[in-house]
C-alpha cells in the first residue's frame, strides 16, 4: 500500500518550458494548479521554489512542455530545488 507522501509525489509532474529563458521555464503540475519556478532565499541560501500561476491553464495545456524530474531541474539550475512544498501565493 502506498503512503500519502508517495501518492502526492506521483501526482506531481515536472516540465521544462523551452520557450522561456528564466526560472519560469521550470513548471510543475499537481492536477489542479500549474506552478512556475521562482528564486527564494532562506538562511542566506538561494533555492528554486514553485509558486502557483492563476489564469494560465490554457497556455500550459497548449505549450510544448518537456517532461522532466526534480533531479534534472536541480542539475540544470545549479541550486537546491524545493520540490516538496508548492506555494499557492
The span from the CA of 75 to the CA of 56, in Å, is 27
Residues in the chain: 89
Q: Which grid cell sits at 56?
A: 494560465
Tell me, what's the pLDDT at 2?
Answer: 44
pLDDT band of 10, cuts 50, 70, 90 = low
The predicted-structure confidence for 13-72, as pLDDT tens digits, reads as follows: 999 999 999 999 999 999 889 999 999 998 889 999 999 988 777 888 888 899 999 999
Tell me, what's the pLDDT at 14?
Answer: 96
pTM for this prediction: 0.80
Tell me, what's the pLDDT at 22?
Answer: 92
Interacting residues of 55 by C-beta distance below 8 A, sequence separation 6+: none
Tell me, what's the pLDDT at 56?
Answer: 72
Interacting residues of 60 by C-beta distance below 8 A, sequence separation 6+: 17, 27, 29, 34, 53
The span from the CA of 45 to the CA of 19, in Å, is 28
Amino acid at each position: 500500500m502506498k503512503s500519502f507522501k508517495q501518492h502526492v509525489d506521483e501526482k506531481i509532474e515536472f516540465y521544462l518550458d523551452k520557450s522561456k529563458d528564466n526560472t519560469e521555464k521550470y513548471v510543475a503540475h499537481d492536477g489542479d494548479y500549474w506552478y512556475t519556478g521562482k528564486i527564494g532565499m532562506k538562511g542566506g541560501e538561494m533555492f528554486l521554489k514553485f509558486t502557483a500561476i492563476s489564469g494560465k491553464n490554457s497556455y500550459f495545456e497548449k505549450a510544448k512542455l518537456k517532461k522532466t524530474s526534480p533531479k534534472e531541474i536541480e542539475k540544470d539550475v545549479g541550486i537546491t530545488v524545493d520540490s516538496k512544498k508548492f506555494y499557492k501565493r
